[in-house]
Chain A
Amino acid sequence: MNATAASSGAMRKSQPRVGLFVTCLVDIIRPSVGFAAVKLLEDAGCKVIVPSQTCCGQPAYNAGDRATAKALARQAIDAFEDCDYVVAPSGSCGGMLAKHYPGLFAGEPELAIRAERFAEKSYELVSFLVDVLGVEKVAARYDGTVAYHDSCAGLRELGVKAQPRRLLAGVEGLTLVELNEAETCCGFGGLFAAKYGELSNAIVSRKADDIRGAKADTVLAGDLGCLMNMAGKLQREGSAVVARHVAEVLAGMADGPAIGESQKEPRQ
């Protein structure tokens, strides 16, 4: 499993070259998450590069369009060729890169090998910081009561569970509370949320109830899709609970508008 690859030669380099796989949602909807990821990686001693990139192919993959998924995977593998690591602020995109890319090229040995090597160097952001770079604490402050939602792919495909909690525990002023059902799906599921809106709503309603029940004022997660889903539901219900990407809080960049909120003042 990638998370325990402490033997990677790149770690012994003074400054690992980390390719930021920014992800479509972060790129288009909430770039501040990308900048938070850059800060965290640079603070931990990485040289961050951002190759020209598009989509990891997961929407196509999950919709059964393998051909498109393969084409986009090849593109991504090419774009990040000369990075020591590929890091995404997302468990679901991270899981696509690290767990599903090799299988796309089963039966095509040359590409399969490249995909395998690519997968081995691909990580979700927070687990990369903790498990590979050995980050134990971040210098950040956040005054709030935070509930952390375990996004499904990050949790089940990549083992992201303890790492964000560990770093959040060290954030000054932050109180961490556990949801009753932190590991239960929020109902996003990519295209599922739009395709099966009523069903998705039932699932996210439960999650919203859980968040309110935990008396959190903030919900964090490592996946923007989940966060937009939960934020959208909470806001439609008139809740004051805000949602942010965990990277924003860890990077000390949580001053701007939360997800789905408007600019109140020019950002500092």
Chain B
Amino acid sequence: MNSREAVLAHIRRSLGVRGDEAPRTLEVETRLAQAPAGVVPNRGQGDASARLAIFKEEAERAQASIAEVASWTDAPAEVARFLRENNCPTTLRMGADARLHAMPWSATSLEILHGASDGRDLNAVSAAFAGIAETGTLALVSGADNPTTLNFLSDNHIVVLSRDAILADYESAFAKLRGAYGKGGAPRTLNFITGPSRSADIEQTLLLGAHGPRRLHIVIVG
């Protein structure tokens, strides 16, 4: 008997089951298929403008900064402004996301770099998969469009989020995920990000920029 069989057998013995009982198997299959939602907090609920307001409030509570622009074409100017005001260098890394590529970056004096980060990028911009109003959280998925390394290796992480991608709660984000990746599917990495990186490990003093970005700037479009 290998370890896998031994562990499963031990679990079954302790639970007093064989493992092939139909009612149990059905219960498990049903739960996996239906994925019932449980208790969903009221906090992020509401119409689009309510969700926007809550998202902003919660994200700022987590020390993210927020800017709103009318359309995708306005984003580069806002990104440039943010970097300038925070005395950041003028290089900016991004993935292959079409929405980001379509933006008029040439109107700014930013030097755009493409692809995953090797750890030397101070600034990076990603486009979010969704926003979660409940906790002011961004959902980002891995891939060539928005490489995961951009989320963690940059000092200043800018995330462009479409207004209508601001969902109420995690459950809505999972529904959207299933729409994109199929039931039971998932990207290689799904990041839920709430504010910049922080640590309180030194005498419980709260400090930003532990290993991930020191700043998280969210540009809401639309």
A–B contact with Cβ pairs below 8 Å: the answer is no
